Structure 1
């Protein structure tokens, strides 16, 4: 594993061509999705936040890659590489909310897309080897890394500002049976779940983290960052429709040494390294 991620410059204000990723259509469980793949070493599934694989999400994926991992970044919604514009992002969000793949407004159920993502983790482990796979979800996909632990290959789950269900601040986007199975695995395999949010986030609330803590106990390791640590000028979609600090390692990250969001990024990379090192 390498240490400090490489710096690629701040190109997050323009669309990202993602030309340093291999664009692979991957068919699993009868469904085909584009997955952007780059790097070498153990695999990490990077699941995008709403409204899609933005330049900020791609920047984070590159940090993971440069830390010594193979990144698998599936296209789940939105326009890949696009700067999150306000109205375009709103339309993507509205379509995702009614999509059969997601359960945006239902607590105590697991989104159907997590089955495909578990199969992707299995494939990534077969292709890259190593002890297992890391997975990080953000916002709309925030809880998916937890449900993906039903796949034995997933060893390092990270939940960044998990936002579903949207209409229940204390709800969990996972079925009771799946939650029970994940809990049993956490104990059996001595694993932990890392989770991140901003203190004043009204989308991923303190009530939600409290519900996770009640459900998972000490296996749930929560990090709550002060609102003052958030970037004051996020992209247009976030500025208009996300009224509080929200995206810890992407849109609201301040890319400067000593910033709490950079410390969170580095802790996530170290977590992947500790779990996935041969």
Structure 2
């Protein structure tokens, strides 16, 4: 890479029959930042750099799209066409955990095993927002953040309310929340892409779901429609959950 990712270390991670590239940078507790559609855009990478600058080791998996390509109508359409035919992602199935969650949990375990501490952070955005929730089924994830979670796609009331977890995984998440592992969520309530997922999370997780909502119209809370308050809340959440109390 010669652009925004040129200072990041390129590697890859394999779990089962899935292998994806990863980009890594920084020192300190581990945080996995999962890019939105259409891919690791310059604004996603810039957000990852902010997490690095706040004192964390950031790993950004590259799951789809072209690295460093800006978000445009063409890049979004091309990536959606690719994602919609891939079996590892859950697009239109209710009460089902996407197979990619197994790979992401493995990545989190590996990073936690290397760095130690209370656990790692996991942040998904847009199409990948709910992946962070699926990752917390593994105890290595101590700070899950859902930025405008949009999968499964809000095609009808049932899918609009679905949080992308199987009943068994949802129960594990609820048990972890009951044990003190909070979940941070960010959205524009007027965003049609997130449907009513935050209502479901509030009902299922109670006070353990920390909901941050922004006025007006928008979607990308940390990138395209960035809210500094959202960035600050995310960084504070990671610091609180991932840095051991001395």
Q: TM-score by structure 2 length?
A: 0.94
Counterpart of 1:131 in structure 2 is 118
Match in the other structure for 2:54: 67
Is 1:197 the counterpart of 2:170? The answer is: no
* Structure 1 counterpart of 2:199, from 203, 207, 210: 210
- Secondary structure of 1:199's counterpart equals coil
Give the C-alpha shift of residue 17 in structure 1: 3.8
Residue in structure 2 matched with residue 183 of structure 1 by the alignment: 174
Which of 141, 146, 163 matches 2:128? 141
Partner SS, residue 203 of structure 1: helix
Q: Distance in 2 between matches of 1:71 and 1:194?
A: 18
CA distance in 2, matches of 1:98, 1:215: 31
Q: In 1, distance between residues paired with 2:161 and 2:17?
A: 34
Unmatched runs of 5 consecutive residues or more in structure 2: none
- CA deviations on 1:162-182 (whole Å, 9 max, x unpaired) are 001112222221111100011
Q: SS at 2:44's partner residue?
A: helix
1:248 to 215, 221, 233: 221
Instruction: Tell me how large the CA RMSD over aligned residues is.
Output: 1.3
Question: Would the aligned equivalents of 1:213 and 1:220 in 2 still touch at CA under 8 Å?
Answer: yes
Q: CA deviation at 1:266?
A: 0.7
Q: Is the 8 A contact 1:97 1:105 kept in 2?
A: no
Structure 1 segment 13-162 matched on structure 2, within 5 A? 16-162=3-149
Q: Answer whether contact 1:16 1:82 (CA < 8 A) is retained.
A: no
CA deviation vs aligned residue, 1:58-94 (integer Å, no higher than 9, x gap):
0110000110000010001100111122213201112
* Alignment TM-score, normalising by the size of structure 1: 0.83
Count of matched residue positions in the alignment of Structure 1 and Structure 2: 239
Contact 1:124/1:133 (<8 A) preserved: yes
Per-residue CA distance 1:201-244 (angstroms, 9 max, x = gap): 01013x221111111111111111011xxxxxxxxxxxxxxxx5
Contact preservation (8 Å) 1:138, 1:162: yes
User: Which ranges of structure 1 fall in alignment gaps of 5 or more residues?
Assistant: 1-14, 228-243, 254-260
C-alpha displacement of 1:199: 2.5
Is 1:262–2:228 an aligned residue pair? yes
Matched with 2:164 is 173
Instruction: Report the 3-state secondary structure (helix = DSSP H, G, I; strand = E; otherwise coil) of the residue aligned with 2:173.
Output: helix
Measured against aligned partners, the alpha-carbon deviations of 1:21-73 in whole angstroms (never above 9, x if no partner) come to: 10112222332210000001110000001110000100110000110000010
The equivalent of 1:6 in structure 2 is none
